[in-house]
Amino acid sequence: MLKDKVAIVTGGTRGIGYAIVHKFLQNGAKVVLFGSREETVAKAVASLKEENPDWEVSGAWPKLTDAAAMVDEINKVKEKYGKIDILVNNAGVSDSTPIDKYTAERFASVMDLNVNAMMNGILPTVAIMKEQGGGCILNTSSMVSICGQPGGVAYPSSKYAVNGLTWSLARELGPFHIRVNAVAPGITRTDMVAALPKEMIDPLINRIPLRRIGEAEDIANAFLFLASDMASYVTGEILSVDGAMRS
């Protein structure tokens, strides 16, 4: 579905991001995954190459909140492959701080990584995609961008900002044949969720109409669809993948 497409995936070393990278590689893409540290990037790339030595995957570890570093790294991808077809802005940080424990610095740090860093990747990529005549930008939102959450107000605030960014850029960039969409995952079986005791997981499952927690592959499948030509007339969408828990 993505044969010979060139993709960048931020936060691609574990969890949902790793699943997206894996799914894209299975479908013929060439992927550069961005992570926070050299050692985690090297481990992820090695694991993928071990599974299939023919997969074209590499990694980098720019500081996402450093605009200049992102411009430099994204331009390196363009120089190597001659194009960038897909940008997946998946990196982010969650938060559960109660309001009476918040500081202005804490709120700003969540917004910085979840919103400002996303723009740091989008700006140079848009310039490249305009020049080449099109592309696809995909953002990771969240179920709580729709319904909120009790505590950690910076996280749903940041993801609501991601939704606004997605809707607005889709309208602005459509004439340049650049599609912009987002995926809003619900509770997903990442390492953090898998470590929770059964007595915490079961009540969560009971609130999900489909009566199961999402798997990282469920989320990756949504990204694959939106990145592919099957979604060539889909832009400005926030695709919920949460088993209808938001309701």
Catalytic residue among 18, 81, 102, 155: 155
Q: Of the candidates 200, 215, 183, 198, which has an alpha carbon nearest to the alpha carbon of residue 88? A: 183
**DSSP 8-class letter at 214:** B
Alpha helices in 54-116 (DSSP H): 67-81, 104-111
Listed residue (34, 129, 36) closest to 86, CA to CA: 129
Whole-number Cα distances in Å, 151 to 141, 155, 199: 17, 9, 21
18 is catalytic: no
Residues in Cβ contact with 203 at an 8 Å cutoff, skipping those fewer than 6 apart: none
User: Rounded to the nearest 5°, which phi and psi values hold at 245?
Assistant: -60, -25
Give the integer Cα–Cα distance in Å for 127 and 43. Answer: 31
Question: Residue 58 half-sphere exposure, CB side, CA atoms within 13 Å?
Answer: 9
Strand partners, 30: 6
Residue 192 CB neighbour total at 10 angstroms:
10
Question: Which amino acid type is present at position 27?
Answer: N
Q: Give the contacts of 20 (CB within 8 A, at least 6 positions apart).
A: 9, 12, 88, 90, 219, 220, 223, 224
Query: Mind telling me the catalytic residues?
Result: 155
